[in-house]
Structure 1
């Protein structure tokens, strides 16, 4: 199958997973966009794991890697939802929540990439 079909199929699945998982997480929160933060954290972990497993362990073929990273994770995590939700908090003068969301998202997703790397490196004993 062409790479673009793998990406499209992954995107379809990632969008559905995002809808389901972020909805479940958001139902536990009131104002704070926990669903978006949660899927960005989870998606970043898997991005780190997949990319470093590909680099160190040769675990994924090119088709599998683009299906998972560009397709599935590309639609599972998104900056547009993060940006919109942050802007809405800003409009509501929720400056503390804006700060928590921006700092939390940036730091947690970078940390999550690191955790994914550690998991992959541990698995492949590099």
Structure 2
């Protein structure tokens, strides 16, 4: 499911980039270079601009919804957790090293007791 959403996000990103590149409010964008200048004359410049603007908003909203969907799948409490979270829970950290025991018969130095400094008179 997560992989499907990521693929959909990539497709929507590609389509959004194409739609944004195709529009130019001054009339000299990519839409004229790919032969849709005739379509703009046929449909009218205003209607073509409205269509591109609606497509831009639609793809942008779809991108946001799909991104939030991947977040819900990744950080949900159900069985659909991400692979990285499952691996992180399975990794076992090495146990901390125990302090070395002193050799038999060896004396262990003890730290001197801390004394409070005497005020100067």
Please identify which structure carries the higher helix content: 1
Q: Which is higher, the Rg of structure 1 or of structure 2?
A: 2
